[in-house]
Structure 1
Amino acid sequence: MNKFKYYFILLITTVSLFSCSKDDAPAEITPPRDYAVQYATDLTDIEEYLKTYYFTVVNHAGFQDDQDVTFTKIATGGTQPSIYSYLKSPTYPKLLSRPVKLHDITYTLYYLVLREGTGISPTNTDGILTSYKGDYLSRQKVAEVETLTATFFEEAKSPQQFFYLYNPNDPLIKGWEQSFPEFKSGTYSSNTDGTISYKDFGAGVLFIPSGLGYYNTGNGSIPAYAPLVFSIKLYEIRRVDSDGDGIKNFQEDLDGDGYMSVFATGVANPDDTDKDGIPNFLDTDDDGDGVSTKTEITNANGVLIPFEAIPACNGNTTDPARIKRHLVKCN
């Protein structure tokens, strides 16, 4: 009887293990699509959206709905101007684009500027306080007819914290990093009820290919390979010193274009003084002389010299195009 029980238990255990191994077998992983092929599809969808939808904007200075934008499909025979009709408009609103090189291709990143803003622009490494509304584009088939639609997925009307455009530990999508420097912050005031009113902020819409978004991973309700449409308002920015050398990132943007990045090996980087492959905003020794930047700009009393007072190579600290010794060696 004991031997029968032993073999019975052994049989049940073997069957269980076999069943578990089948259930736990790894799912087949589909390789990501080719970036260039997917981008061609995304660009077609984005440009169709731009050419078949129009927008309306709320002008309500000082209120939360100021610069809220609504997109509506142009009906057959409709006469509303499409989003695309504002391409390179001489006045605002205007539709613009900028090239973004990534994944061995050059993306066209479209962005609609409703209002530029009156404050200052962030670099792509700064913190931003922004409200936003997000939709994704997809093609839906209804009654055998395929149409391009925008589906809402998220909205933040009252921002409570800053997003950091450069954050290796919690990176934002590339499309945000590569477009927010095109806008400026505004002004704000506190109300008696504890709320804050924002005015004159930059506002617009970002049209982001999936390769500059979530690509094959998707995010929450956003499916994989979905182009994104973000309506944004830039309220305030926060300057960052990523390498802790005492110089803010925006002050280490040597070509002044608002964009700094780590380039591929062998590619010349306009924001890398000593050409060591590390852009200045991440380089604690910008000129590569073996002495840290922070040490070089600390006076005899142990106090950091203000950026504006750092000597230029020619000794002229009032020169707006000065080349400081912590950025370029003075021969």
Structure 2
Amino acid sequence: MNKFKYYFILLLAGISLVSCNKSDDDNVVTVPLRDYAVQYKADNDSIEKYLKTNYITVTNSPGTPQDQDVVIKKIVAGDGNVSIWDQTTYKLTSRNVYSNDITYKVYYLVLREGLGSAPTNTDKIVASYTGNLLNNTVFDSSYGIGTTFNLFPYSNEGSVIEGWSEIFPKFKTGSSTTDPGSGVISYKDFGAGVMFLPSGLAYYADSKGTIPSYSPIVFSFKLFDLQRMDNEYTISASTGGRVFLGDGVPDYLEDLNGDGYLYDFRDKTKYPNPPADLVDDTDGDGVADFVDFDDDGDGFTTRFELTKPTSETGIVNGFNYGTRLYYPWEPLADNPNTPNTDETEPRGIPRRPTGALADPAKPESATNVRKYIETDYTDNPRLRIHLDKTYPIKQN
């Protein structure tokens, strides 16, 4: 067979293969998604094998840009390196993540927890990262530079992969200093770790750049800073986009079970059977508090219930009520680092008032209410009025 005939046959074979992947109306056949549970089992097997056949080195150099830099390499027989799975220098742990109606076991390595505050899975963070495949090919990196990301999956800024939202809340931020000459921000004592993500919490069937579809991926990261978010939103009638308004209470204070995670379980495709211990919903209306404008379902918006009376702002009769129009979650002291501003807010969100009735001869009602007393604003614990559906009292 001469070369011309050989290549001609290959060309015909190629045309045949392309034709077999199209339907009769010349539309490309859509390949169905793989089953999430089946794919997760395969991913988990691959990740555990990776953890047992690779080792990690970490640059522990506080005060330098290289602090907590990570290199992961495959173990070569006889090289004396200890696997990520077997090493004891850094804590290898896992957390269960409910998504796609299965429970993922997600492994992550704690290089340093951090000394600051932990974000929720709906906050913004400043972090650096490097991502690699299980063959240790690096597919992306911020090269140690802190970048802002929104962990909330429905943000207008574009969301991170789900695995990031699930692992970053297990770490804390650090502290920062700004060079007065260059304006460069330096961080120290920040949280740092490595997450090993199954494809169902990454890009799943999508291929992204050099990341093939259905790929488990690895991210080493540093958590520098965070911004608390208040994510209640409406849908714009004109654009159909989300308009974020908030209700006056940051998301992290609407985390009723205190686990650091908030979920919008109205997405029944993704969350058909959510575990009860993950639900943060005061009034049980199916809308989690962090996206609910009326947390207690009493017909009064949370923002209305948090708004101070006009007599309770500024200095009144020599008493400092604070300058803001809304109650803080808890009373606040003045920040000594801002000498030109007085942040004092002596009162937090009040509970239902417990003082004397306006008219003691009549029963309590919408027109005969009790007075607030100081402990209504400061006692702990107290059921704050935006979580108490019995107050304000409605007119008959």
Instruction: Normalising by structure 2, report the TM-score.
Output: 0.70
Residue 179 of structure 1 aligns to a residue whose secondary structure is helix
Structure 1 match to 2:60: 59
1:179 deviation in Å?
0.6
- The residue type equivalent to 1:134 in the other structure is G
Q: Does 1:275 align with 2:261?
A: no
Structure 1 match to 2:293: 284
Greater shift in the superposed pair: 224-233 or 306-315:
306-315
The 8 Å contact of residues 274 and 328 in structure 1, kept in 2 or not, is answered as no
- Counterparts of 2:252 and 2:194, CA distance in 1: 24
- Counterparts of 1:94 and 1:218, CA distance in 2: 31
- Counterparts of 2:130 and 2:65, CA distance in 1: 13
Structure 2 match to 1:210: 199
* Structure 1 residues without counterparts, runs of 5 or longer: 1-21, 138-148
- The residue type equivalent to 1:325 in the other structure is I
Q: How does 1:38-49 map to 2 (within 5 A)?
A: 38-49=39-50
Structure 2 match to 1:329: 389
Greater shift in the superposed pair: 24-33 or 95-104:
24-33
Match of 1:178 among 158, 163, 166: 166
**Post-superposition CA distance 1:212-266 (Å, at most 9, x none):** 0000012222110000100000000000011111110001111111001022477
- The residue type equivalent to 1:281 in the other structure is F
Match of 1:97 among 94, 99, 102: 94
Greater shift in the superposed pair: 244-253 or 315-324:
315-324
CA 1:183–1:320: 2 relative to 1, 3 Å: farther
The 8 Å contact of residues 72 and 136 in structure 2, kept in 1 or not, is answered as no
- Counterparts of 1:43 and 1:270, CA distance in 2: 27
Q: How does 1:4-153 map to 2 (within 5 A)?
A: 25-86=26-87, 93-137=90-134, 149-153=135-139
- The residue type equivalent to 2:195 in the other structure is L
1:327 deviation in Å?
2.2
1:25 deviation in Å?
3.0
Residue identity over aligned pairs, in percent, reads: 48
- The residue type equivalent to 2:115 in the other structure is T
Structure 1 match to 2:344: none
- The residue type equivalent to 1:285 in the other structure is D
- Counterparts of 1:200 and 1:129, CA distance in 2: 14
1:167 deviation in Å?
3.7
**Post-superposition CA distance 1:183-224 (Å, at most 9, x none):** 000011112333221101000001000000000012222110
1:323 deviation in Å?
2.9
- The residue type equivalent to 1:32 in the other structure is L
**Post-superposition CA distance 1:149-190 (Å, at most 9, x none):** 222100003546421100414221110011100000001111
Structure 1 match to 2:328: 306
The 8 Å contact of residues 252 and 281 in structure 1, kept in 2 or not, is answered as yes
- The residue type equivalent to 1:180 in the other structure is F
1:96 deviation in Å?
0.8
- Counterparts of 1:178 and 1:159, CA distance in 2: 22
CA 1:151–1:319: 2 relative to 1, 3 Å: farther
CA 1:322–1:221: 2 relative to 1, 3 Å: farther
- The residue type equivalent to 2:297 in the other structure is G
Length, aligned pairs only:
296
The 8 Å contact of residues 54 and 73 in structure 1, kept in 2 or not, is answered as yes
Larger strand share, 1 or 2 = 1
Instruction: Normalising by structure 1, report the TM-score.
Output: 0.83
